[in-house]
Amino acid sequence: MATETQRRRGRCPRHGTVEATRDVPAVTFPWLYHWVRRTMAERREPFRCPECGAPVD
Ligand SMILES: [Zn+2]
């Protein structure tokens, strides 16, 4: 399953402002199927600190 890394600035409780990342399914054929999976992953999966893996705000 192809994945795509999303990045966003976030605030880690231990490391302050970090470039947080999360992996979500990439949208490839069949488009609708992967789009639904990705939307669900985006709801479920928080952005995480690259240093400690804690969810960031
Ligand atoms: Zn951290």
Count CB neighbours of 31 within 10 A.
9
CB 4 within 8 A of CB 37: no
- Domain holding 19, by residue range, is 8-57
Tokens for 6? 């999303």
The SS3 call for residue 29 is coil
Question: Does the residue 21 lie in any domain?
Answer: yes
Note the pLDDT tens digit of each residue in 2-57.
999 999 999 999 999 999 999 999 999 999 999 999 999 999 999 999 999 999 98
Distance 53 CA to ligand 1 centre (A): 6
CA of 43 to the centre of ligand 1 (A): 21
Domain count, the chain: 1
Q: Do the domain assignments include residue 2?
A: no
Q: Is residue 3 part of a domain?
A: no
Please tell me the number of Cα atoms within 13 Å of 21 on its side-chain side: 7
Nearest to 18, CA basis, from 53, 27, 37: 53
What spacing in Å lies between the alpha carbon of 31 and ligand 1's midpoint? 34
36 alpha carbon – ligand 1 mean position (Å): 30
With respect to residue 1, please indicate whether it lies within any of the assigned structural domains. no
pLDDT of residue 1: 80
Ligand 1 geometric centre to CA of 48 (Å)? 8
